[in-house]
């Protein structure tokens, strides 16, 4: 189902001298979806975002939005808006003036732009601090202002560059809920760069996992988590074991592994560590061929029959939970 407002990357490439930052990636972001670009640092996710925003020249390829190639337009003409990692609020301007900045640049008169900025600030619940300077705001408040400033240009696509990384863990969880809510209300596309898989899982309709300048796997959050296609994705998304069996490499979720008697399992292992995690207990095991495997047992199940480090146990699983991995 395609719409006019879909954002499509076509063979998008970024080279810095000899090195490739983004290697000819193709992807279609559906209009109105919340997409996360996920990957370790240096994987090309930020370069991709900055190319979409227009802050990085495109070496090759096209970026199509609303039926036009926007790859060579200036940032403000693309229909995108960017929210920067450190928010990039103008330190010499008040909250209102920060939000109204793009209107001022367009030459809109003072009263109109103050009114519109006020509306935007109301949307992010910041109208009561409209006269403060950015330095007088907390991290979370600065982020709301940055969000209002990006949204006032009425973009079709909002680009967020690691928007939550500067916040403390508690605030991060609150802000991500708000981001999601805002995206639903506005109905525009959000493209959110992050290196945190929990953030991506919590927010994204669609996760695009990148590694080494390429897209490793893209799809709905649940699909990417439950059925990783490569070893990298399995390890990066976490919660998975990668095990080598005679038939090849497979990923299996840590909580899909069951323990049995040492000779009844499909693989034998020795317990090397036990970690109590509240709702569950994580067992680290060393299986045949020096493979390290983590098994996540429900807490009550573990304490019925506690296991000690050094014990030998058997590991079993349902074949339906195995996912064959590509290279």
**Among 92, 174, 264, 266, contact with other proteins (rule: CB under 8 A):** 92
Smallest separation (angstroms) from other proteins to the CB of 16: 13
**139 forms part of the interface with other proteins (CB under 8 A):** no
Query: Starting at the edge strand that comes first in sequence, how are the strands of the sheet with 7-16 ordered?
Result: 19-29, 7-16, 60-65, 68-69
How far, in whole angstroms, is CA 243 from its chain's centroid? Answer: 26
**Among 71, 81, 207, 208, contact with other proteins (rule: CB under 8 A):** 81
Q: Cβ closer to other proteins: 136 or 212? A: 136
- DSSP calls for 195-238: S-HHHHHHH-SEEEEEETTEEEEEEEHHHHHHS--BHHHHHHH-
**Among 25, 35, 49, 53, contact with other proteins (rule: CB under 8 A):** 53
* Span near other proteins by CB under 8 A; candidates 34-42, 77-85, 244-252, 280-288: 77-85
- From residue 152 to residue 171, what is the string marking binding to other proteins with x (rule CB under 8 A)? -x------------------
**Among 59, 73, 84, 227, contact with other proteins (rule: CB under 8 A):** 84
* Span near other proteins by CB under 8 A; candidates 40-48, 103-111, 164-172, 194-202: 103-111
Residue ranges with strand state E in the chain: 7-16, 19-29, 34-38, 60-65, 68-69, 80-83, 157-161, 189-194, 206-211, 214-220, 240-245, 248-253, 258-260, 267-276, 280-287, 291-298, 312-316, 323-324
Which positions touch other proteins (CB under 8 A)?
Answer: 53-55, 74-77, 81-82, 84-86, 88-92, 101-102, 104-106, 149-150, 153
């Amino acid at each position: 189902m395609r719409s006019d407002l879909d954002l499509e990357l076509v063979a998008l490439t970024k080279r810095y001298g000899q090195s490739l930052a983004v290697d000819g990636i193709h992807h279609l972001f559906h209009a109105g979806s919340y997409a996360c670009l996920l990957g370790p640092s240096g994987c090309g996710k930020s370069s991709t975002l900055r190319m979409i925003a227009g802050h990085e020249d495109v070496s090759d390829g096209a970026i199509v939005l609303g039926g036009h190639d926007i790859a060579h337009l200036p940032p403000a003409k693309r229909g995108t808006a960017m929210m920067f990692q450190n928010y990039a609020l103008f330190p010499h301007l008040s909250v209102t003036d920060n939000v109204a900045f793009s209107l001022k640049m367009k030459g809109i008169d003072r009263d109109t732009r103050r009114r519109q900025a006020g509306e935007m600030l109301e949307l992010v619940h910041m109208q009561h601090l409209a006269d403060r300077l950015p330095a007088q705001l907390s991290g979370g408040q600065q982020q709301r202002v940055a969000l209002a400033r990006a949204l006032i240009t009425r973009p079709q696509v909002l680009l967020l560059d690691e928007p939550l990384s500067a916040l403390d863990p508690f605030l991060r969880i609150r802000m991500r809920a708000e981001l999601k809510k805002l995206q639903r209300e506005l109905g525009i596309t959000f493209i959110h760069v992050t290196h945190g898989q929990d953030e991506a899982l919590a927010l994204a309709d669609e996760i695009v996992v990148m590694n080494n300048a390429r897209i490793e796997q893209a799809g709905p959050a649940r699909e990417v988590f439950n059925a990783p296609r490569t070893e990298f994705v399995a390890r990066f998304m976490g919660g998975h074991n990668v095990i080598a069996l005679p038939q090849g490499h497979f990923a299996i979720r840590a909580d899909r592994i069951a323990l049995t008697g040492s000779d009844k399992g499909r693989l034998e292992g020795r317990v090397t560590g036990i970690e109590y995690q509240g709702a569950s207990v994580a067992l680290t095991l060393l299986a045949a061929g020096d493979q390290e495997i983590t098994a996540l047992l429900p807490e009550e199940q573990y304490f019925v029959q506690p296991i000690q480090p050094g014990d030998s146990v058997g590991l079993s699983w349902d074949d339906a939970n195995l996912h064959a991995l590509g290279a």
